[in-house]
Copies of this chain bind each other. A is one copy, B any other.
Amino acid sequence: MPHLYVEYSNNLTGLNEQGLLEKLNAVVCGHATVADEADVKARIAALQQFRIGTNPAQRGFVHVQLRLLAGRTPEVKKELSDAIAAVLRAEVPQPAGVMVQLSAEIADMDKASYYKDRL
């Protein structure tokens, strides 16, 4: 059931979209809390219109949001965040002169009302 959302500012030229999703999925699917690798659904989008702060020149960012069914412990969430962080630090390019921010959020989804099915 995990949903992984990746966004990045489109000034990070050279970012390998499928390569980044592959490595992120590998660490999320490999975590003990994820029973079936096929459950992890990831998407990535380059942001065409963004603005960072009030002095935005030469700034970029990559942000990951991982949405999981509620019930994971704080320790599990931290492990997943750490694993995502390690992938971002290894994979995100830093164009010359650009200050790049990396971030990751782990969010809970309501379990009682969550629906999933397969065709």
Contacts and interface: CB of A to CB of B under 8 A. Distances in A.
A77 B38 contact: no
Interface string A11-46: 000000110011001100100000011111111110
The DSSP consensus for interface residues of chain A is: mixed
Interface in A65-119: 67, 74, 77-78, 80-82, 84-85, 88-89, 92, 94, 99-110, 112-119
Chain A interface category by residue count: 35 or more
Interface of A: 1, 3, 7, 17-18, 21-22, 25-26, 29, 36-45, 47-56, 59, 61, 63, 67, 74, 77-78, 80-82, 84-85, 88-89, 92, 94, 99-110, 112-119
